[in-house]
Amino acid sequence: MQLAKENLLAFYQTMVTIRTFENKAAELFAAGKLPGFVHLYIGEEAVATGVCANLTAKDYITSTHRGHGHLIAKGGKVDLMMAELYGKATGYCKGKGGSMHIADVDLGILGANGIVGAGQPIAVGAAFACKYQQNGAIAVCFFGDGASNRGTFHEAMNLASIWKLPVVFVCENNMYGISNCQRDHMNICDISDRAAAYGVPGVTVDGNDVVAVFEAAAEGVKRARQGDGPSLIECKTWRWRGHFEGDPATYKNPEEQKTWLQKDPIPRLAQKIIELGHAGEADLANIADAVKAQVAAAVAFAESSPDPVPADVLTDVYAGQ
Amino acid sequence: MTTVGIVANPASGKDIRRLVAYGTVFDNLEKVNIVRRIILGLAAAGVDKVIYMPDYYGIVPRALEGLSSRDRPLFDTVPADIPLTCTQQDSAAAGAAMRASGAGCIVTLGGDGTNRMVAKGCGDIPLLPVSTGTNNVFPAMLEGTTAGLAAGVVARGLAGGEPVVRRTKKLLVVKDGAPADIALVDAVVLDGAFIGSRAIWDIEPIRQIVLTRCEPHAIGISAIGGQLAPIGPHDDRGLAIELGDAAAAVLAPIAPGVVVPVSYRGYRALAIGEHVPVASTPCVIALDGEREIEVRAGETASIRLTFDGPLVVDARAALTAAAAAGVFRLPAGSPAQT
Amino acid sequence: MKKMTYAEAIRDGIRQEMKRDSAVYLCGEDVGKFGGCFGVTAGLVDEFPGRVLDTPITETAIIGSAVGAAAVGLRPVAEIMFVDFTGVCMDELFNQAVKMRYMFGGKAKVPLVLKTICGGGVAAAAQHSQCMEAWFTHIPGLKTVMPATPADAKGLMAAAIRDDNPVIYIEHKQLLGLGGDVPEGEYLVPLGKADIKRPGTDVTIVAWSWMVHRALAAAEALAKDGISAEVIDPRTLVPLDKDAILASLAKTHKLVIVHEAVRTSGFGGEIAAVAAEEGFDLLDAPIKRVTAPDTPVPFSPVLEKAFLPDEGKIIQAVKELF
């Protein structure tokens, strides 16, 4: 797999954007500026980035409650996202969805989702539509280790397999379903093992290595586009934060946490970029500064945006209302 | 006191070759099942103790837990005292721990990659490799029970010496003058800068191949050499191949279900001790099927063929020798099982 | 006009829309080769190759995938074999299909028809006989359609498919073989428009689905006793044609609501509330509800007969108002 300088720098930019956005969201939440729940993607940036780099705006993704990273990697706009986190009228969902329901159907983002596992059959349906319309697009379903225990996983995998649908199931195994570590919620360690039960190829890759994720996703996406059916890619990664902001995550083993923090995907890529001579430390710092400014502008946009008006509660229930 | 080691790698058989090719699906439940059979074979062969590599899945504890009470072996089963990193380093550390605790044989479950790691630590403890990986040249497809019996008779000293236990070759990768890593079957130099998803399934970026054995019946990179100049595991030579656009090509099964033309510029036999320098950098060196070493611009690297690889048990020869010695012949009056 | 059964009319409605719009497809358990558990979709699989899909027994994925397909531009008609099975796909319906538009700030539409069948009277017992419509009416974003006649079955199916919202279209087992005149060619019945199935002056009976016919039979009998009952079929519970009900009350001043579903939290309670809130001055008698009791549906035909509302129970309720 030959990755050009532009690819690597784009990976870097996307991962840094996600990290910066999430750190800012953590800070704003702690300051009491964001209502509701916020589930952060810090530490898992390589998964969304490596996968979405293989997609176009015509392809679809379904996301999860921990969805900010998927949205950014698929091209979501940080100012509209931030305004939505604030519940403002200018947000992606006009303040009606919040962090857990951000969507941009025009960009193929079929929504974050507050129900664990719900995106799986929805992605299968989007993939069915791609096949039915023969439009060459595909769907990617992001979900976590916990969601692979849901019945939706079983039904979605099975239907995708028998209908040979263009869908890539991307399991972000961050080792925890809320407070339950993986060994307490399933009796296997590689979720890719589950694929065989549906006649689907399943692979496991290092989810903290954006290049490894990119390579595996490229093959899954190629397979889907060629009409060869679904695949399951398990990306082993780690949720740095609690399940939601405010969760102190006392259930995590501090040693394990320490080990995983050392596998931070962003410095890993940065080091590689520098080694290859694609950019110097100053160049990367410039990218990070530009991202920081972009996120700061998003916050300013959100804060200066109007709240929705009370009458808006009644709109958007039905189409053609 | 006869001790046998078991290294069962929970990560083998999951890589991207299931997606880009048709790699065997080996789930961990089947590895657990194989370990059960190995344990029962070891018990029947009179082993006193089993020391195993701990892993995040718990292959060996699960194997024991699932045995029916009737079949529970009476011997001790203990984990090797190693820090669990859940990486391939665990296999090397387990090999070393087993060597230190005087194991007479180590049964490995995995592919070429797993054995490569165990070999880094096990010294001259003979390996009995059981295949559960993807591109397997080094381990054999063996039934677990008979693998356990064979490991047991070797560990007890009831069978040994050639042809039961034989020395294999290895490749030593030297980077900037220092030993960096080893391979048991193949070392492959690829264009590129990334280890990425590790496996090799595309011939295009391959520039150089160095082989300890060239087996026409093997799957993987070794098969390319097998088409050019067959070399067995015990022959005192290896092979170096240079790839690239050229008139000459062979068809070889480089991954499961992937039989592709491979163009080569030339190849030559390697004598034991000979070095093959890496021709250009930056590059990545894959060892026994997985990209492992990044060689950056300005660094130097070479690959050296040696004949000091791990000792390997031939299960068939071991059990033939055991039969000839009457190891499993029961004395008159022993209770027959019905 | 053409004589058709209710089942044929449903099929005709689906056929009409599939011919009109290639984005419409039909999927569900046994809807293809088998023609549907009750034969409703017979033959469509041959008429529309590749557009009628047999699914595995997988209610969650049937509705979940229909949500995904609808959100990206298709118009699925997704069948759940019995309304009793909707529990298995409830999240896909009530948290996904109907909320996407609202949660996404109006930037999505989910034109999905969940086609299913309800009702008792065939000794199918507690898991194949229920009337669950009240559940669905409690979900903002969803429309609930319950046709009682062949013509309505066709026109409402076509309208449901053309609607840009999730619609649950609930057939009734007892009505499948019912014959009637059905308009040929393109025919639509708008959602949210009640139908006066029998005009009358003395009492308003609101009933839907199978109960329309029991109400009509009761009205016929009541006429002989000199009571003129008006039978209103709302046809769709959401949206509900309140005006039609209130207009009838303005004439009759008495309201009896009949539904096959169990009593507590049944949709009859909602209609009664509408009458009380918006038509209190029109009423000159207490509102009556004729419903099944608050029990599961029993198996034994004797017990099931006792469970179901019938003509006699309707007549009795009406007479209590005079």
Q: What is the CATH number of domain C195-319?
A: 3.40.50.920
Signed CA dihedral, A286, A288, A291, A295: sign only: negative
Mutation target among C29, C52, C107, C143 for the A interface, most CBs of A within 10 A: C107
- For residue A113, the chain C residues in CB contact (below 8 A) are 96
Pairs of residues, one from chain A and one from chain B, whose beta carbons lie less than 8 Å apart: 83
In A, minimum Cα distance to B297 occurs at: A276
Using a CB–CB cutoff of 8 Å, tell me whether A42 touches chain C: no
Mutation target among B194, B202, B292 for the A interface, most CBs of A within 10 A: B194
Percent of chain B with pLDDT over 90: 74
Using a CB–CB cutoff of 8 Å, tell me whether C109 touches chain A: yes
Mean pLDDT of chain A: 96
Using a CB–CB cutoff of 8 Å, tell me whether C263 touches chain A: no
Question: pLDDT higher for A287 or B113?
Answer: A287
Give the pLDDT of residue B336. Answer: 61
- For residue B27, the chain A residues in CB contact (below 8 A) are 188, 190, 193, 196
Give the pLDDT of residue C222. Answer: 98
Nearest CB among A92, A126, A155 relative to C61 is that of A155
Tell me which residues of chain B, numbers 27 to 56, contact chain A at a CB-CB cutoff of 8 Å: 27-29, 56
> Does B134 have pLDDT greater than 70?
no
CA distances to A192, B134, C5, C179, C181 from C149, in Å = 51, 63, 9, 8, 9
The reply to whether C2-182 and C195-319 are identical in fold is yes
Angle at B148 (CA atoms; ends B142, B150), nearest 5 degrees: 80
The C-alpha of A46 sits at a distance from chain C's nearest C-alpha, in angstroms, of: 26
B147-185 per-position pLDDT tens digit: 999 999 999 999 999 999 999 999 999 999 999 999 999
* Residue spans of beta strands (DSSP E) within chain B: 3-8, 49-52, 76-79, 105-110, 127-131, 165-167, 170-175, 178-183, 186-191, 206-211, 237-243, 249-255, 258-271, 275-277, 283-287, 290-295, 301-306, 311-313
Tell me which residues of chain A, numbers 46 to 65, contact chain C at a CB-CB cutoff of 8 Å: 60, 62
> Does B190 have pLDDT greater than 60?
yes
Note the pTM of the prediction, 2 decimals: 0.91
What sections of C3-147 are H helices per DSSP? 6-20, 44-47, 59-71, 90, 100-103, 133-137
Cα(C202)–Cα(A289) distance, integer angstroms:
78
Residue C73: Cβ within 10 Å count:
16
- For residue A191, the chain B residues in CB contact (below 8 A) are none
Using a CB–CB cutoff of 8 Å, tell me whether C69 touches chain A: yes
Residues of C marked active site are found at: 128
Using a CB–CB cutoff of 8 Å, tell me whether B195 touches chain A: yes
> Does B66 have pLDDT greater than 90?
no
Mutation target among A94, A159, A164 for the C interface, most CBs of C within 10 A: A159
Using a CB–CB cutoff of 8 Å, tell me whether B84 touches chain A: no
A118-134 per-position pLDDT tens digit: 999 999 999 999 999 99
- Those chains having 3 or more beta-carbon pairs within 8 angstroms of chain C are A
Nearest CB among A189, A193, A203 relative to B16 is that of A203
> Does A179 have pLDDT greater than 90?
yes
Nearest CB among C56, C68, C95 relative to A115 is that of C95
- Residue C154: strand, helix, or coil: helix
- For residue B28, the chain A residues in CB contact (below 8 A) are 188-190, 193
Half-sphere exposure of B114 (CA within 13 A, CB side): 31
Mark yes or no for CB contact B19/A188 under 8 Å.
no
The C-alpha of A124 sits at a distance from chain C's nearest C-alpha, in angstroms, of: 5
Mark yes or no for CB contact B194/A3 under 8 Å.
yes
Mark yes or no for CB contact A201/B296 under 8 Å.
no
> Does A1 have pLDDT greater than 60?
no
- For residue C91, the chain A residues in CB contact (below 8 A) are 115, 118
Question: pLDDT higher for B12 or C312?
Answer: C312
Nearest CB among C25, C66, C104 relative to A101 is that of C104
Percent of chain B with pLDDT over 70: 98
Nearest CB among A97, A130, A152 relative to C60 is that of A152
Percent of chain A with pLDDT over 70: 99
The C-alpha of A321 sits at a distance from chain C's nearest C-alpha, in angstroms, of: 10
What sections of chain B are H helices per DSSP? 17-20, 28-44, 59-65, 89-100, 112-122, 144-155, 222-228, 315-324
Mark yes or no for CB contact C61/A158 under 8 Å.
yes
pLDDT band at B279 (very low <50, low <70, confident <90, very high): very high
Mutation target among C55, C72, C238 for the A interface, most CBs of A within 10 A: C72
Domains of chain B: 3-167+310-324 (3.40.50.10330), 170-306 (2.60.200.30)
In C, minimum Cα distance to A151 occurs at: C60
Give the pLDDT of residue B311. Answer: 97
- Those chains having 3 or more beta-carbon pairs within 8 angstroms of chain B are A
Using a CB–CB cutoff of 8 Å, tell me whether C56 touches chain A: yes
**Nearest 5°: phi and psi at B34?**
-65, -40
Mark yes or no for CB contact A204/B56 under 8 Å.
no
**In the numeric block, which tokens belong to residue A130?**
């791609």
Using a CB–CB cutoff of 8 Å, tell me whether A91 touches chain C: yes
| Angle between helix B144-155 and helix B28-44 axes, rounded to 10 deg | 40
The C-alpha of B92 sits at a distance from chain A's nearest C-alpha, in angstroms, of: 20
Mean pLDDT of chain B: 92
Evaluate whether chains A and C are touching (3 or more beta carbon pairs less than 8 Å apart).
Answer: yes
Mark yes or no for CB contact C103/A97 under 8 Å.
yes
Q: Residue with structure tokens 């045995």?
A: B67
**Nearest 5°: phi and psi at B174?**
-115, 125
Using a CB–CB cutoff of 8 Å, tell me whether C117 touches chain A: no
- Residue A7: strand, helix, or coil: helix
Nearest CB among A97, A129, A155 relative to C74 is that of A129
A24-73 per-position pLDDT tens digit: 999 999 999 999 999 999 999 999 999 999 999 999 999 999 999 999 99
DSSP state of A2: -
Question: pLDDT higher for C155 or B255?
Answer: C155
- For residue A151, the chain C residues in CB contact (below 8 A) are 60
Question: Max alpha carbon distance in chain C (Å)?
Answer: 58
Q: Is the peptide bond before B163 cis (omega within 30 degrees of 0)?
A: yes
Using a CB–CB cutoff of 8 Å, tell me whether B73 touches chain A: no
- Residue A228: strand, helix, or coil: coil
Q: Which helix (H) or strand (E) element contains residue A236? A: strand A231-236
pLDDT band at B338 (very low <50, low <70, confident <90, very high): very low
Cα(C42)–Cα(C12) distance, integer angstroms:
11
Domains of chain A: 5-304 (3.40.50.970)
Give the pLDDT of residue A225. Answer: 97
Tell me which residues of chain A, numbers 117 to 176, contact chain C at a CB-CB cutoff of 8 Å: 118, 120-130, 132-133, 139, 151-152, 155-156, 158-159, 162-163
The C-alpha of A253 sits at a distance from chain B's nearest C-alpha, in angstroms, of: 14
Q: What is the ipTM of this complex?
A: 0.96
Q: Where are the domains of chain C?
A: 2-182, 195-319
CA distances to A74, A140, A141, B290, C227 from A54, in Å = 10, 10, 14, 23, 72
Q: Which helix (H) or strand (E) element contains residue C117? A: strand C113-118
DSSP state of C204: E
Cα(B96)–Cα(B116) distance, integer angstroms:
13
> Does A100 have pLDDT greater than 50?
yes
The C-alpha of A318 sits at a distance from chain C's nearest C-alpha, in angstroms, of: 6
Nearest CB among A202, A216, A223 relative to B197 is that of A216
CATH 1.10.3720.10 is held by the domain C2-182: no
Q: Which residues of chain C have pLDDT under 70?
A: none
Strands B170-175 and B178-183: antiparallel
Give the pLDDT of residue A321. Answer: 72
